[in-house]
Amino acid sequence: MNNQLYINEIQPLFDDVQRAQIFTDQKTMTDAVPLFSVLEINKKYEETKNQEGFDLRSFVLAHFDFIGEKSIHRKDILPIEQHIEKLWDELTHTASENEGTLLKLPKPYIVPGGRFNEFFYWDSYFIMLGLQASGRVEMIKNIVENCSYLIQNFGFVPNASRTHFLSRSQPPYFSLMLDLLAESTGSEELYKTYYSTLEKEYKFWMDGEEELKNDFAVKRVIKTKEGDILNRYYDSENTPRPESYLIDIEDAENASGEEFYRNIRSACESGWDFSSRWFADNNTIQTIETLNLAEVDLNCLLWHLENTLAKASALQELKDQEAYYSHRAESRRKLIDQYFWDNEAKIYRDYNFKKHSHTSSEHIATLYPLYLGVASKEQAKAVSETIAGKFLYQGGLVTTTKETGQQWDLPNAWAPYQWLGFAGMKRYGFTQLANDIKNNWCSNVERVYNNTGKLMEKYNALDTKTIAGGGEYPNQDGFGWTNGVYLKLKQN
């Protein structure tokens, strides 16, 4: 029996289960594995659901298998580095078959932990930093190979390796993953090996560019009123997210606009679900307008992808391709400066192409031009002062300067941006600030670990006596990218 499950195949049953809230976490049903053919389950459900004494929970438990989240417990609290070394093995999964909504992958991979028991795209880059520090080069190769497999089979790396994520990706880190692998192996041959994969991912992000008129957007591409090409996050579906189904339906009741669900999903493609960064009123999710925005982080990552394609073309003496991608990269570098740099506020902001202006949100994605080397020395100095003055707290770098209860807002500090901050500041010579970022966050991680024996998904940067909160689900322990960034920072 083929155990692959697409949520739309069981839509009436799925809708009833999620609305009835028979599981505390709406992700539980999306991760279910059918014990019988979907056709058979649907038929049985229609035949029995209106019978006297029918119990929905009992029906679901009899027809699906549930793996659930995996908790990791130790008898004694080990030194933190030893704990992480053990975690690498405990968080390693294999998926050699399509099972339920889980997509098969050719190689083993590392999951974030807690409720997240599948492969995630941008998480994996920050996991790889720690694998490099641990000398686990084979697993770095596995992750690159899995991403390549997904790009070759689906045209992109999905948000995570489940069927209901086949409508969106996440921040495109594959070219940066190749840099990390090349650094770990001392070989540049892999840029040739994965050349077609790089091209395929680039085509995914640029799909629709040719048909665009000025001041319009299609899929992930925006053409400004001036005729310049930028990119945005996007999702091809405009329906409630299966993993947060009822939450989306309830939020949509008071939302304006026909594409509320797509705006929600598009924010998920950024990895920032959710933040005041996406809200027109800077406060409430009902005003979400992700689709109107070109984002500084995405455009910097695509600049890196264009540069990597130029480099990979040069290695193969593909002169025309090298010239093409070099031109694209140089053009985008200028556009990043033109559309995202706010000279008055000394910060990079997102660009609202509908309003032809910057968004008002101050957020930590301003680090990307420094991390990737796009910023000028003057811009980097200005950003360093903004970071030190507005974003750095006792427990690390916060993501925004606004507190809304959303998990990607103040007061939370997330692992990826501690690394981007540290490495970005080091790149431009702000060594003291880099070390402050590293020490503040690592101390916070160590404090929570010593108190709980766990590494968390996110941390409270302001109140270092408490654990972070906010968002649609409880704080998770495991935790892939925290482990990775902590080890990498301690090595530097």
> Length of the chain, please?
492
Identify whether the C-beta of residue 315 lies closer than 8 Å to the C-beta of residue 193.
Answer: no
Which residue is it, tokens 């992930």?
220
Q: Which of 412, 428, 431, 484 is nearest to 455 (CA)?
A: 484
Give me the sign of the Cα torsion angle 109, 115, 120, 125. Answer: negative
Instruction: Answer yes or no: 457 catalytic.
Output: yes
* Eight-class DSSP state of 271: T
Identify the helix (H) or strand (E) that includes residue 444: helix 431-452
Instruction: Answer yes or no: 273 catalytic.
Output: yes
Q: Which of 31, 99, 269, 273 is catalytic?
A: 273
* Eight-class DSSP state of 70: B
**Bridge partners of 109?**
93
Q: Which of 118, 251, 269, 457 is catalytic?
A: 457
Give me the sign of the Cα torsion angle 317, 320, 321, 326. Answer: positive
Q: How many whole angstroms separate alpha carbon 270 and alpha carbon 262? A: 13
Q: What is the dihedral of CA 16, 18, 21, 26, to 10 degrees?
A: 160
Angle (CA) 348-351-357 rounded to 5° is 105
Q: Which of 163, 30, 35 is nearest to 95 (CA)?
A: 163
Q: Which residues are catalytic?
A: 273, 457
